[in-house]
Structure 1
Amino acid sequence: MSSIQDEGRLPLAVVGAGAMGREWLRMLTTSPVARVAGVVDLDLDLAAETVRAVGLGDVVIGTSVAEVAARSGARAVIDVTVPQAHRPVNEEALRAGLPVLCEKPLAPTVAEALRQVALADLTGGLLMASQSRRYLGALAAYRTAVGRLGDLATVHAQFFHEDHEPGFREQMAHPLLVDMSIHHFDQLRYVTGQEPVAVRCDSWNPAWSWFAGDASATVQIELTGGARFSYAGSRCTPGLQTSFNAEWRAYGERGAASWDGETTVVADLDGTDPKAAAGPEGIAGSLAEFVGALHSGRTPQNEVRSNVLSIAMVEGAVRSSALGGERVVIGDLLEEALAQALADERQEDVLAVLRGWTSAADGIATPAWGSAPAPIAAGGAR
């Protein structure tokens, strides 16, 4: 079983020294489970400036993941690069024997996500997506409330915000669906314990929007239990803004439950409302699960195989919108993505893994990380 046994805080290399990288580095300065050993960025001046700004001491800085890990003794990687850089960074780390916690979205397409599943299979390394909004005490309480409703009929979520984030987000073709809705779609899977069957979507960009791409959308998703998820959102809506976590309602055979996206969970069921559990939240919660998995060898939430389905929900919504709201079947999308992955992959060892799958569904159901026999050595190499 793959695991890390280490009495101290896990030494990490953080890849990406931009705004989100800075947020991770700040959190890591006080983390009880991990510490920064090195920072990787193509812009060494930016990396040095970020290290100084967050008050880190003497950490190794460089442009290569493997080189910084070797010099610093880092035994795992946090990938906080821009989305298009995730695959090459994750690949360099996994081939160097370093487990990876990667910021969402782990991949821009399902085909690229499947190639990363194959790479994780090949190396036996842990690749986990940081879907940090799963790690909220109130969300866990809401999940408990929804679980008491019995069979579900409908789940509603709405997200309306005024987001000003100059940079790549404001230039994305689908800044709502790709950058924000993936959180809410992933939360849906966590809350209901169900998987997506099909999706319909209509997306557009209001005339006043400062985003280049579609900042608004409505989405309906069919779930394996027969329920429907109804979602509406926008990133360019002044006034009456919701929580970043969206506002939620679920209706089932025994009653209903709501969550305001912050602290209030109401179960219109038996007069009792679940209470939020204490524990690390957000990226700190994601990190805690990642490190815990490395210590125990158990498979964490959002291990790459599971996270493919959250990415598929987003890609299905984008595809449906492009088709004028047509119904997109997730199973069909997965198989088309596998065909694309086979066409795109150029590395023979990864290609051999992809060719060994009977289907995409088979690929993402392969034995999860934790069953590989080779342990991670103290220096991080296999």
Structure 2
Amino acid sequence: MEGTSVVRIVQVGLGGFGRNWAQEMIPQVPQVEVVGRADISPDSRQAAIAAGIADPKATYETAEEAIAATDPDAVLVTASLVGHVPAVRAALDAGKHVMVEKPFAPTVAEGAELVDLAASKGVVLAVSQNYRFFPAPQVVRKLVAEGKLGALHAVELDFRRFSGANGVRGPHHFLAEPLLVDMSIHHFDLMRVILGRNPTRISCQTWDPEWSLFTGPSEGTALIDFDDVTLSYRGSWVSHGDPTPWSGQWRMDFENGEIAWTSRGDGRDGWKADEVWIRRGNQRTKLVLPKVERTDRAGTLTEFVTAVAEGRQPDNSGQDNLSTLALTYAAVESAAGGGEPVKIG
């Protein structure tokens, strides 16, 4: 694949989210040619065909059938979590590069197995952690690495949304872990990327108000240790407070100042919500952020196919994402134990 400008892919997963991928995200990346699609659900296949997303002559029931029929360069897995490991394993066994939606496996052990399989086949395994691909986190990541504000010693992160205000339940309302595994995993990944560190311990508590539309816990707090930095996290799917952008509101205290930032608003132009402020003493400055050519999931897909074409590992590799999985499932374990600290790594 090295030097190839177009990556031929099969998309596995044509539910509502997969169809959104097909309609809104894949068309933004001209380096991608979709040669087939697959879903085990006949209803999802038919919905995709009816919407003009999928060609009935190149739509299959299983990943194995689609791969055998089209011999793609890569596979994009946009199925629900239960379908991730089987589809990714099928693609890796066939020697295909893979990008999969988050969380890419239901356990860290299964994720590690897939990472090892990808390494043994010499192919790329990437995870769509799309919140990385916005202007603000990319700038803040660089600022932290440069260390111009001195040592980082404390971080606060708040996420607030009210889901179900119209009284209508969506698929995420029925998840066992709608906050930690479906939403906070984005914030957990950003924590690792921005701080340039992996977590060592977490204490987490979650709950759900009786009146919420959620089946699982929709609110939570956590203290997360990153060796020399402790991060305090508050997240809520049922907050009546001012809604934050999807990446939450961040305050980062350094020896010589503060960085306050946020990222990822609503819609196609979500990058317009990105802001980064630096405070030194009484002086507060808003940074001018660079334009990112492709944000969100289009950004993850671009990084994936570029890495495949260049013969390198992507920033959002499966190997890297194992630490995000470990933090996410440690949070679940701690919350199940009433907030008892859980060591990570």
TM superposition score normalised by structure 1: 0.81
Equivalent residue of 1:36, what SS? strand
Match of 2:184 among 181, 184, 188: 181
Match of 2:210 among 207, 210, 214: 207
Superposed CA deviations along residues 146-191 of structure 1, whole A, max 9, x for unmatched, are 4433211111111111224845422222210000000001011111
Partner of 1:195: 198
Mapping 1:86-125, distance limit 5 Å: 86-125=84-123
Partner of 2:8: 11
Q: 1:277 offset after TM fit, Å?
A: 3.4
Conserved? CA contact 2:155–2:232, under 8 Å? yes
Superposed CA deviations along residues 172-212 of structure 1, whole A, max 9, x for unmatched, are 22210000000001011111111101111011111221111
Mapping 1:8-157, distance limit 5 Å: 9-26=6-23, 27-55=25-53, 60-147=58-145, 148-157=148-157
Q: 1:57 offset after TM fit, Å?
A: 5.5
Q: 1:16 offset after TM fit, Å?
A: 0.5
- Equivalent AA in structure 2 for residue 189 of structure 1: R
What is the CA–CA distance in structure 1 between the aligned matches of 2:28 and 2:102, rounded to whole Å? 23
Q: 1:39 offset after TM fit, Å?
A: 0.8
> Where in structure 1 are there 5+ consecutive unaligned residues?
332-382
Conserved? CA contact 1:258–1:267, under 8 Å? yes
Which has the larger displacement, 82-91 or 239-248?
239-248
Alpha-carbon RMSD: 2.0
Conserved? CA contact 1:12–1:75, under 8 Å? yes
Partner of 2:268: none
Conserved? CA contact 1:159–1:234, under 8 Å? yes
Q: CA 1:31–1:220 in 2, change beyond 3 Å: closer, same or farther?
A: same
- Equivalent AA in structure 2 for residue 211 of structure 1: F
Match of 1:172 among 175, 178, 193: 175
Match of 2:336 among 322, 327, 344: 322
Partner of 1:236: 238
What is the CA–CA distance in structure 1 between the aligned matches of 2:308 and 2:336, rounded to whole Å? 41
Match of 1:290 among 292, 297, 304: 304
Superposed CA deviations along residues 321-378 of structure 1, whole A, max 9, x for unmatched, are 12221111102xxxxxxxxxxxxxxxxxxxxxxxxxxxxxxxxxxxxxxxxxxxxxxx
Equivalent residue of 1:141, what SS? helix
Q: Does 1:304 align with 2:318?
A: yes
Equivalent residue of 1:122, what SS? helix
What is the CA–CA distance in structure 2 between the aligned matches of 1:232 and 1:87, rounded to whole Å? 30
Match of 1:268 among 268, 279, 301: 279
Q: CA 1:32–1:272 in 2, change beyond 3 Å: closer, same or farther?
A: same
Equivalent residue of 1:175, what SS? coil
Superposed CA deviations along residues 93-129 of structure 1, whole A, max 9, x for unmatched, are 0001111100000112212212222222332222111
Q: CA 1:268–1:201 in 2, change beyond 3 Å: closer, same or farther?
A: same
Partner of 1:376: none
Q: 1:280 offset after TM fit, Å?
A: 0.5
- Equivalent AA in structure 2 for residue 216 of structure 1: E
What is the CA–CA distance in structure 2 between the aligned matches of 1:304 and 1:137, rounded to whole Å? 23
> Where in structure 2 are there 5+ consecutive unaligned residues?
264-272
Which has the larger displacement, 162-171 or 62-71?
162-171
Q: 1:45 offset after TM fit, Å?
A: 4.4
Q: Percent identity?
A: 34
Partner of 1:161: 161
What is the CA–CA distance in structure 1 between the aligned matches of 2:260 and 2:55, rounded to whole Å? 45
The number of residue pairs the alignment matches comes to: 327
What is the CA–CA distance in structure 1 between the aligned matches of 2:162 and 2:57, rounded to whole Å? 37
What is the CA–CA distance in structure 2 between the aligned matches of 1:240 and 1:231, rounded to whole Å? 17
What is the CA–CA distance in structure 1 between the aligned matches of 2:338 and 2:189, rounded to whole Å? 24
What is the CA–CA distance in structure 2 between the aligned matches of 1:156 and 1:54, rounded to whole Å? 45
Conserved? CA contact 1:139–1:276, under 8 Å? no
TM superposition score normalised by structure 2: 0.89
What is the CA–CA distance in structure 2 between the aligned matches of 1:328 and 1:105, rounded to whole Å? 20
Equivalent residue of 2:30, what SS? coil
Equivalent residue of 1:219, what SS? strand
What is the CA–CA distance in structure 1 between the aligned matches of 2:86 and 2:319, rounded to whole Å? 18
- Equivalent AA in structure 1 for residue 278 of structure 2: A
What is the CA–CA distance in structure 1 between the aligned matches of 2:203 and 2:149, rounded to whole Å? 25
What is the CA–CA distance in structure 2 between the aligned matches of 1:274 and 1:199, rounded to whole Å? 34
